[in-house]
Structure 1
Amino acid sequence: MTSHKIFNHDIMVCTDQRLIGNHLYSGRVLGLTEPEDIIQLCPDLKSQWNIITEHYRRIGLSHSTNIIWDVSYKILEDYPQYNVSLFFFGNATSKVGCDEDRFRQIDSDWLNTVKFINSKNNFIQLAQELGVSVPLTFCFENKAAIKDFSKFPYPCYLKTAISVNGVGISRCENQQQLDEVIKTFPDEIPLQIQEEVATLSFLNVQYSVEGSKLQRLAITSQILDGYAHIGNRYPSKHQPWETVEPIAEWITQRGIKEIFAFDVAVVEDATNETRYLAIECNPRFNGASYPTGIAKKLNIPSWSCEMFKTQYRSLEKLDLSDIEFNEKTKTGVVIINWGTVLVGKILILIAGNIQQQHELTAKLKERL
């Protein structure tokens, strides 16, 4: 029998505090819950509650109505009989403000595995040990260890070993630019320098662990606006599970739980042969996890999901009549990240084949 869960998918312990609206992201997990679960939500979302629950009722999406309007982790202590579902099990930024002892008491193996693989340097070193293909990458304990700038491929990416939301990642065209950027980084943090992969095709490869058993969840293609990741599409024609599975199995054996994912680059060479290069592991839920889970609950075989800007600041202003998801046709729009409408953006899943997705997207944009 599956135990009930308490969901807290607030992202503020592992995000850049300067990003507007990130405190509203706790609501996007609502569609993954079941009626018997508990969900912690940011109190700022109260004004949108009745509207999002009516939307989910109309499209046939079950969810919890056991709401705690407080995202404090301390509340988890009041529900020891519930399994815990968090966006990130620990503190992604390793900054003060997250009580690590609380996570250690819940599951120390889970915490230690997340901390280990969340380091981009640890990921690269483990991948090399397990024979997983990765881009040419150089790992350093700190910037003082970076000596010979001529040996690096250009353009390249300078990355902090631990980063969130792309913060701490800089593209460098040449040695001079790399030298200038390095000077802006703190002295004590680990860094890596990685070759730029010549592709605009990237995959999100998701796994889940339930009851210590590793399960393949979904592979989605990233939707890009230039170099910026704005969404995901399922299914993908690429299915390179074997590329990252050695790492997935390794971290599962060491205690990771719930959902985690890999970023994988798709590279086609001059002979039209396809290679897959693992970039990093995100030992947590990610942007693709929420539409993936909701699509599975609604049995949607084909979908895309993107963040859209809107002129409105409330869901009640959105007109989804005749484009809302239909259970019979398996087409239409589903609101995923609903709380962010308060700052003029909204994450929406668009169900249907590619042509239907384009048609629905066009109609949706007219109404935003």
Structure 2
Amino acid sequence: MNKKIYNHDIMICTHEAVRGNYLFSGRVLGTTEPEDLIQLHPDLKSQWQFITAHYDRIGLSHSKNVIWDVSHTLMSDYPDYDISVFIFGDVVDNHSNDHKWFHQIDPKWFEVVEYVNSKNNFIKLAEKLGVKVPQTKCFDTKTKIANWDDLIYPCYLKPAVSVDGVGIYRCQDQQQLKEALKEFDDKVPLQIQQEINSFNFLNLQYRINKQGLERFAATEQVLDGYAHQGNRYPTKHQPWSIVQPMAEWMYQQGMKEIFAFDVAVVETETEPSYYAIECNPRFNGASYPTGIAQKLQIPSWTCENFETKYRSLAEIDLKDIELDLSKQTGVIMVNWGTILMGKIGILLAGTVAQQKDLRTIIKQRL
């Protein structure tokens, strides 16, 4: 296996207004190996000794070779290492040095990410390849919306390229839709998508490595209302055939590493129906616990985000409930850097009943 340099800073794919996102670069640590390099935000230095001690206690291998700088172009200084990034491109600023650098080092990978990252391109490609999606109308600008009576409510109004979910509006009727459209610039491409009546959404992850395209994991999204709180594995739903044509197309176009599809489950009296909602041509929140769980061969887990009054891992004592690999139950800290903002992402391993007990204990201690 080739050694890698990891830089999973998400600021090239996130809205500046979202608090604490610059601290997310640490969540890839548990998926790395000792021979790898990892780039971390310098603010995470204060937590380094605590997270590495936690991983060492539970037997989770990881890189200890840290570069305390999240500049992507620094990766050029390590030509012997394969590159692993959160997203291969700069979604926020297409005039940045990062944007040019990504395009330069692997144009095919860069172009497929940029193409599929547009929700409008995703819909066009889905229709071309026969991938089942909700009824969706795509527009180059809001001024092109003409046939209002063709729209189905409730619906979602989305910019074609959404950064960190910002700018997505749920509209109950035409009046709400017209109000929401006022928030959009005249030149922004957008789409209006029929709401799927579902409380169950899947995340279907693929991975591309030297052997080719492989199915990485199917997880269920843990939701608080409409807000994504985490992921659960395993799931009884395995609708890989729905998105397989698009996964194969992306592979042929030059996609690399991990990418994932959001799929809605609609329960019927006979068997469920599945609809592809969008593709994230990059790592996502489910990728990190999945990588850790597969390394440690954990068969059942949930990864969730918790809020806490604490601002350092030193203040949190979870040692007695840390993962016991022999029993395949216990907790693993995944998104640990965000503790500086009072949030932490934790994997709960074990049966559903064991996960419930662990969740109760964690909430009491945070």
TM-score tier by shorter-chain length is over 0.9
Contact 1:323 1:333 survives alignment (8 Å): yes
- Which residues of 2 match residues 211-290 of structure 1 at below 5 A? 211=210, 213-269=212-268, 271-290=269-288
| Distance in 1, Cα, partners of 2:8 & 2:272 | 36
Encode CA deviations 1:16-74: one digit per residue, 9 max, x unaligned.
10111100000000011101110000000000000000000000000001100000112
Encode CA deviations 1:124-175: one digit per residue, 9 max, x unaligned.
1111111111000001111111112221001100100001221121111111
| Distance in 1, Cα, partners of 2:147 & 2:179 | 14
Residue type matched to 1:360 in 2? L
| C-alpha displacement of 1:5 | 0.6
| Distance in 2, Cα, partners of 1:215 & 1:94 | 31
Contact 2:13 2:164 survives alignment (8 Å): no
Aligned in 2, Cα 1:150/1:98: closer, same or farther, shift over 3 Å?
farther
Q: Which residue of 1 aligns with 2:127?
A: 128
- The alignment partner of 1:238 has SS state of coil
Q: Which residue of 2 aligns with 1:196?
A: 195
TM-score when normalising by structure 1: 0.98
- Which residues of 2 match residues 46-195 of structure 1 at below 5 A? 46-195=45-194
| Distance in 1, Cα, partners of 2:364 & 2:182 | 46
| C-alpha displacement of 1:99 | 2.8
Say if 2:325 is the partner of 1:327: yes
- The alignment partner of 2:106 has SS state of helix
| C-alpha displacement of 1:235 | 0.2
Structure 1: gaps (5+ residues):
none
| Distance in 2, Cα, partners of 1:35 & 1:107 | 26
Contact 2:260 2:279 survives alignment (8 Å): yes
- The alignment partner of 1:329 has SS state of coil
Contact 2:23 2:337 survives alignment (8 Å): yes
TM-score when normalising by structure 2: 0.98
Q: Which residue of 2 aligns with 1:11?
A: 10
| Distance in 2, Cα, partners of 1:274 & 1:35 | 43
| C-alpha displacement of 1:253 | 0.5
- The alignment partner of 2:138 has SS state of strand
Residue 355 of structure 1, aligned match among 343, 346, 353? 353
Residue type matched to 2:320 in 1? D
Contact 1:13 1:97 survives alignment (8 Å): no
Residue type matched to 1:294 in 2? I
| C-alpha displacement of 1:272 | 3.4
Contact 1:233 1:305 survives alignment (8 Å): yes
* Percent of aligned pairs sharing the same letter: 60
Residue type matched to 1:287 in 2? G
| Distance in 1, Cα, partners of 2:96 & 2:252 | 29
Encode CA deviations 1:87-126: one digit per residue, 9 max, x unaligned.
0100123444353221122211000000011110111111
| Distance in 1, Cα, partners of 2:146 & 2:93 | 27
- The alignment partner of 1:214 has SS state of strand
Encode CA deviations 1:303-335: one digit per residue, 9 max, x unaligned.
000000011000011111321101111100000
| Distance in 1, Cα, partners of 2:25 & 2:98 | 19
| Distance in 2, Cα, partners of 1:226 & 1:93 | 27
- The alignment partner of 1:322 has SS state of helix
Residue type matched to 2:58 in 1? I
Contact 2:93 2:99 survives alignment (8 Å): no
| Distance in 1, Cα, partners of 2:98 & 2:29 | 25
- Which residues of 2 match residues 282-301 of structure 1 at below 5 A? 282-301=280-299
| Distance in 2, Cα, partners of 1:333 & 1:95 | 39
| C-alpha displacement of 1:226 | 1.1
- The alignment partner of 1:61 has SS state of coil
Residue type matched to 1:73 in 2? H
- The alignment partner of 1:99 has SS state of helix
| Distance in 2, Cα, partners of 1:299 & 1:349 | 13
Q: Aligned-residue CA RMSD in angstroms? A: 1.0
Contact 2:73 2:98 survives alignment (8 Å): no
Q: Which residue of 2 aligns with 1:205?
A: 204
Residue type matched to 1:305 in 2? C
Contact 1:150 1:175 survives alignment (8 Å): no
Q: Which residue of 2 aligns with 1:34?
A: 33
| Distance in 2, Cα, partners of 1:139 & 1:249 | 24
Residue type matched to 1:317 in 2? E
Contact 1:156 1:195 survives alignment (8 Å): yes
